[in-house]
């Protein structure tokens, strides 16, 4: 039995466009090949500045509406100047913002009105790894915890299903939970 | 043969402090257990705001010198408002800034003066994955390329060795190239 349901939820995600893009790009898969980019320039000490401006997709070079700049640094407890968030905190921001965008998109697709979505994210790290003090300790996170507090016009079960589906389609969740090849070259 | 070499390089990294911390934390490993944190709040559509302010380390709660806020969003080609960098671009910024901080730190430790360090970073992604159009396509990056242009008072070989050692001790390089567990809870 198929029913046509009026979806009155408005979370600000244009799901019709995304579903249309899914169909269009399935027929023309070259357009789905994106390259995301950033540039980074050392300032002083562990402080660097990154710029996000252009990317490639839909078969062409694309520009963001504006240029996004980010200072990164190490904190004072590492005897650094703390001129920006640490690199690992940028990863946490990427993960949380990816999952939240997914929650909003899935909720829109399911006709669920969101009222508020808040997340706290924590990543545990034993810095004996990055300090080179213990070869048994990894450099990265031992584990990451994300907790969502969501107020939506939906049951607890429906809200949990939103978050589960968001994880299933999240680019950053995949990058963190699965291995990705990184090729680093010098003066290439 | 051991020689004492005067290290005149000044890249702004307090290597003596870091080496001292390595010794001190090796003797008191509880202090090396850090937790990095961020909060995230949905704004509208795929737009969210993240805040980085506090972390735990050296056995106590710590605060950054200032609060760092980040807007994330999807771009206009996804029918979104492009109010910030995309979540995956935050990951690229994290990787580049981590490797660059490492290059500066290793150069300082090796007495190599850096003149300029610039990186471009690109991550390839087939968005048929996140669109749910093709279950064979992963959501995350197919691969990431980082290219460094480094001007330093050193040979090409020494410069390449800096970058190699930076990868070896990079937290974000590890997070991206190796799997990390992410536990997501709701209203927990």
Question: ipTM score of the complex?
Answer: 0.96
Q: What is the largest CA-CA distance in chain A?
A: 65
- Alpha carbon B98 to chain centroid, angstroms: 3
Chain A residues in contact with B84 by the CB 8 A cut-off are: 68, 97
Q: Give the mean pLDDT of chain A.
A: 95
Strands (E), B45-161: 47-57, 60-72, 114-126, 143-152
Beta strands across the sheet bearing A182-186: A60-72, A47-57, A33-44, B114-126, B143-152, A182-186
Q: What SS3 state is found at B167?
A: helix
- List chain B pLDDT tens, one digit each, 188 residues: 444 445 579 999 999 999 999 999 999 999 999 999 999 999 999 999 999 999 999 999 999 999 999 999 999 999 999 999 999 999 999 999 999 999 999 999 999 999 999 999 999 999 999 999 999 999 999 999 999 999 999 999 999 999 999 999 999 999 999 999 999 999 86
* Element holding A91 (H helix, E strand): helix A87-109
- For residue B20, what are the CA distances in angstroms to B11, B16, B76? 18, 6, 49
What's the CA gap between B96 and B84, in Å, rounded? 18
Tell me whether residues B75 and A55 touch, CB distance under 8 A.
yes
Interface of B with A in 28-47 (CB under 8 A): 29, 32-42, 44-47
Whole-number Cα distances in Å, A79 to A74, A118, B62:
8, 32, 14
Backbone φ and ψ for A143, nearest 5 degrees, come out as 180, 155
Per-residue model confidence as pLDDT tens digits over B50-59: 999 999 999 9
Q: Does A135 touch chain B (CB under 8 A)?
A: no
**Is A9 in CB contact (< 8 Å) with chain B?**
no
pLDDT of residue B188: 63
Are residues A160 and A107 in contact, defined by beta-carbon separation less than 8 angstroms? no
Mutate to test the interface with A, among B26, B98, B99, B135 (most CBs of A within 10 A): B98
Question: How close B7 gets to chain A, by Cα (Å)?
Answer: 16
Residues of B in contact with A136 (CB under 8 A): none
C-beta atoms of A46 and B13 within 8 A: yes
- pLDDT tens digits, residue range B79-117? 999 999 999 999 999 999 999 999 999 999 999 999 999
- pLDDT at residue A2 in the model: 43
pLDDT digits (tens, 9 = 90+) for A94-103: 999 999 999 9
pLDDT for B7: 57
Rounded CA gap, B22 and A128, in Å? 7
Question: Nearest by CB to B50, which of A45, A96, A180?
Answer: A96
Quote the longest CA-to-CA distance of chain B.
65
Q: How far is A112 from chain B (nearest CA, A)?
A: 13
A63 part of contact set with chain B, CB < 8 Å: no
Which chain A residues are closer than 8 Å to B21 by Cβ?
78-79, 131
Closest CA relative to residue B80, chosen from B134, B43, B129, B135: B43
pLDDT at B8 (0 to 100): 79
Question: Does B150 contact A186 at a Cβ distance shorter than 8 Å?
Answer: yes
Instruction: Give B151's contacts (C-beta < 8 A, 6+ positions apart).
Output: B114, B115, B116, B117
Residues of chain A with pLDDT under 70: 1-7, 188
Chain B residue numbers with beta carbons less than 8 Å from the beta carbon of A93 are 38, 40, 50, 52, 70, 72, 87, 90
Crossing angle (nearest 10°) for helices A156-168 and A87-109: 120
Chain A, window 67-126: residues with a beta carbon less than 8 angstroms from a chain B beta carbon: 68, 70, 72-80, 82, 84-101, 103-105, 114, 116-126
- Token pair of B27, please? 């003797």
Tally Cβ neighbours within 10 Å of residue A77: 17
B130 at A interface, C-beta within 8 A: yes
B59 touches chain A (CB under 8 A): no
How many Å apart are CA A34 and CA B81, to the nearest integer? Answer: 18
- How far is Cα A168 from Cα B25, in angstroms, rounded to an integer? 38
pLDDT at A4: 43
- Cβ-contact B163, B150 below 8 angstroms: yes
CB nearest to B139's CB, from A169, A184, A185: A169
Residues 6+ apart with CB under 8 A from A48: A40, A41, A42, A71, A72, A73, B96, B97, B100, B101, B117
Closest CA to A37 of B74, B78, B120, B126: B120
Label the pairing between strands A182-186 and B60-72.
unpaired
Quote the pLDDT of residue A98. 98
pLDDT of residue A7: 57
| Confidence (pTM) | 0.96
């Amino acid at each position: 039995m198929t029913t046509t349901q009026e979806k009155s939820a408005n979370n600000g995600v244009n799901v019709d466009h995304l579903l249309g893009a899914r169909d269009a790009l399935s027929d023309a898969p070259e357009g789905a090949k994106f390259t995301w980019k950033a540039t980074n320039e050392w300032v002083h000490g562990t402080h660097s500045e990154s710029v996000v401006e252009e990317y490639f997709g839909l078969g062409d070079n694309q520009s963001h509406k504006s240029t996004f700049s980010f200072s990164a640094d190490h904190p004072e407890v590492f005897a650094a100047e703390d001129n920006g968030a640490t690199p690992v905190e940028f990863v946490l921001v990427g993960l949380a913002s990816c999952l939240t965008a997914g929650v909003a998109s899935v909720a829109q697709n399911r006709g669920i009105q969101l009222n508020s979505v808040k997340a706290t994210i924590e990543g545990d790290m034993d810095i004996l790894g990055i300090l080179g003090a213990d070869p048994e300790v990894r450099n990265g996170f031992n584990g990451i915890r994300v907790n969502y507090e969501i107020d939506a016009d939906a049951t607890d079960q429906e809200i949990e299903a939103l978050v589960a589906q968001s994880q299933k389609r999240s680019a950053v969740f995949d990058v963190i939970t699965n291995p990705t090849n990184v090729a680093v070259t010098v003066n290439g």
